[in-house]
């Protein structure tokens, strides 16, 4: 009976992460409708990105204290409840100022679900495999989100209906948490001020944080503005553009499963795998930008997502080799928070550029960020090589392609 209950909790957790993906994937598709409805420009609508990410960062910062105070079940219910309330109020078409505030609440609720589910599943047997599957379900949700949103908009249904439908999907997950999850509190490492300060001053941590901020900037910018690019620059229909954006998220999900395994088969370490993925990102973006055809856009978006897929987990996997053992947990928390900030700032910059020169700026912007990623990754690889020289770690261990999904 206990095993069946544990499996049910895992299924609910996967559903919760899929919901986060649905929101991430569908948000970009409803952006043009929100811009038209509120009469704002692409720069102004970017405030919703910043608000959502701010809520996510605040939730991550409060994660440990809230888990200890309320326990797993109450904390997850808090996140689901905030997310549900914010989705319902957004579905009622609030003022633009309130919409921005509700995005802050959505970010906090989504961040609580994210952190709480990670904390719970990490305490279960075979936690590494479970966490890999957990994060893969984000990709599944991100694949479905654009399809749902595009189908609604293609039928001339108000954009608010997407958030009302999303609110309905939260309800069964919330009930699953209420009846299946334990009250107990997972072990959370206490972090002192000096430890946080030391991690913030560590060059390896700062490099990895910058790398993930740039990476998530590409991932979210393509996910949020890809639909606008396809409809405005490639004159694709709403439904087709929604399918292409879903293909982008599908590529991201498949890439996380496939590329890592291929790297193991060919004996390619994390340095070479990430470098190859970065080259693939540049090539895919060039294909979409320079070949003005629907087929090239479809192939380019799917391939771009495919090559983006494993980069985040690879970076998390090398953190123990970049930072001292006592700073690893704190460093990973910093990386997650900074990556969310990158996922807000860079899409906002793309929106500002699109407002001035056109949404075609998305592709050269992506290529530029990918080049910067290559430079930062080169610095990270050099630090990894220095770590080998300074320690008794075998080089093969540093280059181990096995990663934990992020």
Output the pLDDT for position 406: 37
Q: Tell me the whole-structure pTM to 2 decimals.
A: 0.71
Distance CA 98, CA 47 (A): 12
Distance CA 389, CA 138 (A): 38
Q: What DSSP designation does 394 have?
A: -
Output the pLDDT for position 328: 67
Output the pLDDT for position 260: 76
Cα→Cα distances 107→48, 112, 214, 362, Å: 10, 9, 20, 24
The count of other CB atoms within 10 Å of the CB of residue 200 is 14
Of 373, 320, 375, the closest CA to residue 205 belongs to 320
Domains and CATH numbers, the chain: 1-187 (1.20.1250.20), 189-390 (1.20.1250.20)
Secondary structure class of 128 (helix, strand, coil): helix
Of 32, 18, 39, the closest CA to residue 224 belongs to 32
Tens digit of each residue's pLDDT, the chain (406 residues)? 448 778 888 899 999 989 998 998 888 889 899 999 999 988 888 889 889 888 887 876 676 567 667 778 898 999 999 999 999 999 999 999 999 999 999 999 988 887 777 667 766 776 555 666 777 788 788 888 988 998 998 899 999 999 999 999 999 999 999 998 877 654 444 444 445 677 778 888 899 989 999 999 999 899 889 988 999 888 888 888 888 988 898 898 888 778 877 887 888 877 888 899 999 999 999 999 998 888 899 999 999 999 998 888 778 777 777 888 766 656 766 777 788 888 888 988 998 898 888 889 999 999 999 999 999 999 999 888 876 555 544 343 433 433 333 3
Provide CB contacts within 8 A for 300, sequence distance 6+: 284, 285, 287, 288, 291
Q: What DSSP designation does 293 have?
A: S
Residue 235 CB burial class (10 angstroms; 0-12, 13-18, ≥19): exposed
């Amino acid at each position: 009976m206990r095993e069946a209950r544990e499996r049910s909790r895992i299924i609910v957790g996967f559903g919760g992460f899929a919901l986060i993906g649905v929101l991430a994937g569908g948000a970009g598709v409803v952006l043009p409708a929100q811009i038209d409805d509120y009469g704002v420009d692409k720069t102004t609508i970017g405030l919703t990105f910043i608000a959502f990410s701010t809520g996510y960062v605040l939730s991550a910062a409060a994660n440990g204290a809230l888990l200890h105070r309320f326990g797993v079940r109450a904390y997850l219910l808090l996140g689901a409840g905030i997310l549900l309330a914010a989705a319902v109020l957004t579905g009622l078409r609030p003022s633009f100022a309130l919409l921005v505030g509700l995005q802050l609440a959505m970010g906090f609720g989504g961040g609580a679900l994210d952190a709480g589910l990670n904390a719970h599943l990490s305490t279960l047997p075979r936690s590494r495999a479970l966490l890999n599957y957990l994060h893969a379900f984000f990709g599944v949700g991100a694949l479905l989100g654009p399809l749902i949103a595009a189908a609604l908009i293609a039928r001339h249904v108000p954009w608010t209906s997407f958030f009302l439908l999303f609110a309905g999907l939260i309800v069964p997950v919330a009930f699953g948490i209420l009846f299946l999850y334990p009250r107990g509190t997972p072990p959370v490492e206490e972090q002192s001020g000096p430890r946080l300060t030391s991690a913030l001053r560590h060059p390896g941590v700062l490099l990895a944080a910058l790398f993930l901020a740039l990476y998530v900037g590409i991932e979210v910018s393509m996910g949020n503005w890809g639909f606008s690019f396809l409809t405005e620059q490639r004159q694709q229909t709403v439904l087709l553009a929604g399918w292409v954006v879903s293909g982008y998220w599908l590529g991201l999900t498949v890439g996380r499963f496939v590329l890592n395994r291929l790297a193991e088969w060919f004996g390619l370490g994390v340095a070479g795998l990430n470098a190859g993925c970065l080259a693939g990102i540049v090539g895919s973006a060039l294909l979409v930008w320079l070949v003005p055809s629907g087929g090239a856009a479809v192939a380019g978006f799917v391939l771009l997502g495919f090559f983006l897929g494993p980069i985040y987990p690879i970076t998390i996997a090398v953190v123990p080799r970049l930072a001292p053992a006592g700073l690893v947990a704190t460093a990973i928390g910093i990386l997650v928070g900074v990556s969310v900030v990158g996922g807000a700032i860079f899409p906002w910059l793309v929106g500002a550029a699109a407002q001035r020169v056109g949404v075609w700026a998305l592709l050269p912007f992506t290529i530029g960020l990918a080049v910067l990623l290559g430079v930062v990754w080169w610095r990270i690889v050099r630090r990894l090589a220095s770590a080998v020289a300074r320690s008794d770690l075998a080089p093969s261990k540093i280059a181990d392609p096995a990663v934990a999904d992020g």
